[in-house]
Structure 1
Amino acid sequence: MSLIRRFDLQAPIVQAPMAGVSTPLLAASVSEAGGLGSIAVGATNATGARAMIEEVRSRTERAFNVNLFVHQTPQPDADREAAWLKLLAPSFNEFGAEPPRTLRVIYRSFADDPDMLTMLLDLAPPVVSFHFGLPPSDVLGALRARGICLLATATNLDEARAIKAAGLDAVVAQGIEAGGHRGVFDLSAPDDALGTMVLTRLLAREAGLPVIAAGGIMDGHGIAAALDLGAEAAQLGTAFIACPESAADDGYRMALKGGGACHTVLTTLFSGRPARAIANRFTALGSQIDERSAPDYPIAYDAGKALNAAAKAKGEFGFGAQWAGQGAPLARTMPAASLIEVLRSELRQARG
């Protein structure tokens, strides 16, 4: 059964679960307007995730998606982490701050978090999606037994085939244009950097699963293009950052309207994994230091967050992880429900 019919969606629109931006209010607003709202719980623990899911449910009776990170277990390396902090020290010093003495693993992978699984089995949200990889088959079986629809991100055909073999319900085709973290399974493998339209068509033909196109889609015309290529729905993330329901701070919103939005870059500086963000002072450090020396994800993120906090305390917002896709200059400021209605209208116009 298609996702549209299964969840009675009024529009083939999925709001991307961007950690740090998506909120229960945003997700519920999108779902109430006829799309599929999403929350990202990869940056919290089971207690925090439970509170977020319960808040979404208090705001809507419609379906919504809960996204989890399934990254490889990070390998702490004291020497590598100390060297990374030394590279960042001049930036900390600019704001009268000292780098942390040590770095922590601030986010647990879902593959290493049995408490998160227990919580999901208890609450059974309508949709659960995975980023960076797949959990073990027994975990997938337990979630499936609770009637949960399962999705996962793929950046290439091999990943999509693995998702199909694991028995998931649909695949999110994440093009290189997408904002936030690349969903690649294996960081040691070459990234083919396929664009959204090419990847969508490839997976629609070869993956054997319903496809949700993601990356650079900002309006109804982009949604129409994805559907014409065989996608069942389109996932939009950057398009919702400027909505008042998102958690983006003032600096993030200003950056989305500024010149840097026309120059998004893929960088590992923030977190240790490649992610697309608005060009700012932090991304500019890539010309001065070797990104490849960053500690494992999410250990590097501990340093990035500390530097951003030090900068913000002095009124500088240019060190934040301002995730955005290549379509950032097309962002529009309006409530989420209004945006869904505009997207639906544009889609109707584009498809005649």
Structure 2
Amino acid sequence: MTDILDRLGLTVPLLQAPMAGVTTPAMAAAVSEAGGLGGLGLASSTADAARMAIAETRARTDRPFNVNFFCHVPARRDAAVERAWIARAEPLFAGFGAAPPEELREIYRSFRHDDDAMLALLLETRPAVASFHFGLPRPDQLAALRDAGIMLLASATSLDEARAIEAAGLDAIVAQGWGAGGHRGIFDPDGPDERLETEALVVRLARECRLPVIAAGGLMDGRDIARALGWGAVAAQLGTIFVACSESLADAAYRARLLAGGETVMTRVISGRPARCLANRFTDWGRDAPDDTVAPYPCAYDLGKALNAAAVRAGETGFGAQWSGVGAARARVLPAGEIVAALASELGQAG
């Protein structure tokens, strides 16, 4: 079960979560250089931007790193729902002296459905690891990636999703618990969700699945990693711990709100899919919005980004996508490599 760590040459059983909009080549390379597996969140990137990020990471390290993509079903568009969502947000925009977009765009592509340019890039550049969120690539895409020698991971929030990952022939499962920050990887956001915490999910998947399991969600220090290994995981994936590191793209307001700690909430209002965010003015505004009134992902994100931009121009920072898992206050203001070293030391002491 630890073969994947040996294949990657990891000296710390740690994956840095590939957080789109936060991770950088400098962060990923620093984590990999320190003995973990760095990650690039490329779900919102074009193929050209992804090519540049991969090249820059390789210029900083010759060690393996992970590249991550979304496999969401394209938006089920409903013009009436989208118009109503725009109208609901109009007073917020007006408060910042701005107008909402007249219509919403489907701003992110799905690797599975319409992004063969990204597949071609991966086959050309052959990163050591590719991982997927919201679902799985097509069988032909997976076959091509396997033939290229790329290790394949995918997120699961349930046993059914884990079994689908196993049946598709991937190499490991990232078990994403309910306390994880950012977008919930559930394949069908409108389907049932057991909302399992990380421990319960990892224990179940480690018992029921043949593939190695990587624990993710609410893990913030080396003692947490040790606990995850005790649940049956072969490694842990941590994201929130790196948001405030010096290599992060998080802005000053995001960092300050993170380090202040406080409540996190699971919300659809920012992007259209369930995601865990630090409670702020945007999440407060959306608390009473029924799920079926929110524009679909990623169209709602088009509005959310426009709203945040208008708010920032007016000096308000409470409308950003300030993703965070539970335990936000335990984030660290250190370079990424030093965070990995601290986690390894804590893990050693816990062991």
Shorter-chain-normalised TM-score: which range? over 0.9
- 1:231 is aligned to 233
Partner of residue 179 from structure 1, selected from 178, 181, 206: 181
Looking at structure 1, the residues matched to 323 and 255 of structure 2 have their Cα atoms a distance apart, in angstroms, of 11
SS of 1:262's partner is coil
Are 2:204 and 1:206 aligned? no
Normalising by the residue count of structure 1, what TM-score does the alignment of the two structures yield? 0.98
Report deviation, 1:331: 1.0
- Residue 46 of structure 1 corresponds to which residue in structure 2? 47
Aligned-partner Cα distance in 1 for 2:86–2:288: 14
2:56 corresponding residue in structure 1 = 55
C-alpha distance in structure 1 between counterparts of 2:62 and 2:74, whole Å: 35
Aligned counterparts of 1:331 and 1:118: Cα–Cα separation in 2: 36
Q: Which amino acid aligns with 1:155?
A: T
C-alpha separation in 1, matches of 2:292 and 2:306: 20
Equivalent residues in 2 for 1:1-352, closer than 5 Å: 2-111=3-112, 112-258=114-260, 261-351=261-351
Residues in 2 aligned to 1:142 and 1:24: alpha-carbon distance in whole angstroms: 25
Q: CA 1:338 to 1:114, structure 2 compared with 1: closer, same or farther past 3 Å? A: same
Deviation at residue 327 of structure 1 after TM alignment: 1.5
Output the CA distance in 2 between the equivalents of 1:144 and 1:277.
Answer: 34
Structure 1 stretches lacking a partner, 5+ long = none
Q: Amino acid of the residue matched to residue 331 of structure 2?
A: A
Per the TM alignment, residue 330 of structure 1 is displaced from its structure 2 partner at its CA by 1.1
Alpha-carbon distance in 1 for matches of 2:315, 2:216:
34
The 8 Å contact of residues 267 and 276 in structure 1, kept in 2 or not, is answered as yes
Instruction: Give the Cα–Cα distance (whole angstroms) in 2 for the partners of residues 301 and 10 of structure 1.
Output: 38
Q: The residue matched to 2:173 in structure 1 has which SS? A: strand
Counterpart-to-counterpart distance in 1, 2:292 and 2:326? 23
Write out per-residue CA displacement over residues 218-264 of structure 1, whole angstroms, 9 at most, x where no aligned residue: 00000000001110000000000010101000110011022xx3210
TM-superposed deviation, 1:288: 4.6
Work out the CA distance in 2 between the residues paired with 1:289 and 1:228.
39
Q: What is the CA-CA distance between 1:81 and the residue it aligns to?
A: 1.1
Q: Which amino acid aligns with 1:334?
A: L
What's the offset of the Cα at 1:332? 1.4
Deviation string for 1:110-164 (max 9, x for gaps)?
0111111111111111000000000111110000000000000000101000000
Distance across 1 between alignment mates of 2:248 and 2:291: 29
| Superposed displacement of residue 290, structure 1 | 3.2
Is contact 1:179–1:238 with CA below 8 Å preserved after alignment? yes
Deviations 1:49-89 (A, max 9, x none): 11111111111100000000000011232221111010001
Q: 1: CA distance between counterparts of 2:28 and 2:339?
A: 13
**Aligned CA-pair RMSD:** 0.9
Identity across aligned pairs (percent)?
57
Please give the alpha-carbon distance, in whole angstroms, between the structure 2 residues aligned to 1:125 and 1:52.
Answer: 11
Structure 2 residue identity aligned to 1:277 = C
Q: Would the aligned equivalents of 1:267 and 1:291 in 2 still touch at CA under 8 Å?
A: no
| Distance change (3 Å), C-alpha of 1:253 and 1:55 | same
CA distance 1:152–1:287, shift in 2 (3 Å): closer
Residue-pair matches, total: 349
For 1:35 and 1:196, how far apart are their aligned partners in 2?
20
Q: Which amino acid aligns with 2:57?
A: V
Measured after TM superposition, the shift of residue 291 of structure 1 is 4.1
* Aligned residue identity for 1:305: K
Provide the TM-score with structure 2 as the length reference: 0.98
